[in-house]
Amino acid sequence: MKNTVKRYRLLAEKTQSDLASAIGVSRQTIHAIEAGKYVPSTELALKLAKEFSTKVESLFELED
């Protein structure tokens, strides 16, 4: 699964720690999501989308 979480985070001028605190996870979780090593739960994906005022589909995309 591809994601654009890092791009959105950088555009929002947030650190991984800032984002993690805002949605209630560890910085390591944010790092793993951005690196494509962890696929977030639906709840976490929705929290990320809400934090960036966007849709989940803008953050995550299934790979062919």
Q: Which CATH architecture has domain 2-53?
A: Orthogonal Bundle (1.10)
Q: How many helices (H) and strands (E) does the chain have?
A: 5, 2
pLDDT tens digit string along 7-41?
999 999 999 999 999 999 999 999 999 999 999 99
Which pLDDT score is estimated for 22?
98
Give the CA diameter of the chain: 32
Q: Show me where the domains of the chain are located.
A: 2-53
